[in-house]
Amino acid sequence: MSESDTAPPRWDAGWYRFARACPSPNFGARPPESTISLVLLHSISLPPGVFGTDHVRQLFLNQLDWDADPYFQQIKGLQVSAHFYIQRGGELWQFVSCDARAWHAGVSSHKGHDNCNHYSIGIELEGLEGGAFEAAQYETLQALLPELARQYPVTDVFGHEHVAPGRKTDPGPGFDWPLLQQSLGWLGVDFPAAAYTKKAC
């Protein structure tokens, strides 16, 4: 018997074994006819530009102290979640089963289909819109995305800015789409158009 025959399954009811599970109450059922085809990348930090706090986890769990920072008054009462959260050091958290509908996209549309929450998996990257991301975060993405594609019929990887233009700007110009697309080497999966343009030397 090989080691792979005795290893625990990588997925259990939409939960990925190699992510730190921290279930959020902010989720719902996907429509029965939905097909999980889209991965949406976001960026988040609380307060904006401040990294290494526990505030994002608290937000997704509805445990954020709204009085802990003046900025939090602007988002007071917000109830949101994402399936995954990747911290600056590459640590991977999961807040919602991928089989369920997380609350991350809001008013959105992709390729003529509204409400991306119905058919997408949301991944939040700890970062600031327009800022750069860490090598460890790309490495975690490069490991996670193929696992998602093996488990779900993923055909598209886009940013929040692409499905909610004019309303959202994350992850922003600091995210290296060409690096991600080229490192995966995927055929038959769509990325933003910029992903196909190699950066100049």
- Per-residue pLDDT in tens (0 to 9) along the chain, 201 residues: 444 567 789 999 999 999 999 999 999 999 999 999 999 999 999 999 999 999 999 999 999 999 999 999 999 999 999 999 999 999 999 999 999 999 999 999 999 999 999 999 999 999 999 899 999 999 999 999 999 999 999 999 999 999 999 999 999 999 999 999 999 999 889 999 865 444 443
Q: Is 196 within a domain? A: no
Q: Is 201 within a domain? A: no
Count: domains in the chain: 1
- Cis amide linkage into residue 47, ω under 30° from 0: yes
Q: Is 96 within a domain? A: yes
- Single out the catalytic residue among 3, 33, 91, 124: 124
> Does the annotation count 124 as an active-site position?
yes
Q: Is 142 within a domain? A: yes
Tell the residue number behind the tokens 């080497």, with chain if given. 185
pLDDT at 4: 55
- The CA distance from 94 to 22, in Å, is 6
Are 46 and 52 spatial neighbours (Cβ–Cβ below 8 Å)? no
pLDDT at 198: 46
Helix, coil or strand: residue 31: coil
Q: Is 198 within a domain? A: no
Q: Which two tokens stand for residue 53?
A: 């706090």
Phi, psi of 190, rounded to the nearest 5 degrees: -85, 140
Helices (H), the chain: 3-6, 55-60, 135-151, 160-163, 177-184
**Can you say whether residue 14 is alpha, beta or left, with left for phi > 0 and alpha for psi between -120 and 50 degrees?**
left
Q: Is 200 within a domain? A: no
Helix, coil or strand: residue 102: strand
Order of all β-strands in the sheet with 84-86: 20-21, 92-94, 84-86, 120-126, 38-44, 156-159
> Which range marks the domain in which residue 91 is found?
3-186
pLDDT at 79: 98
pLDDT at 1: 43
pLDDT at 195: 54
Task: State the CATH number of the domain containing residue 10.
Answer: 3.40.80.10
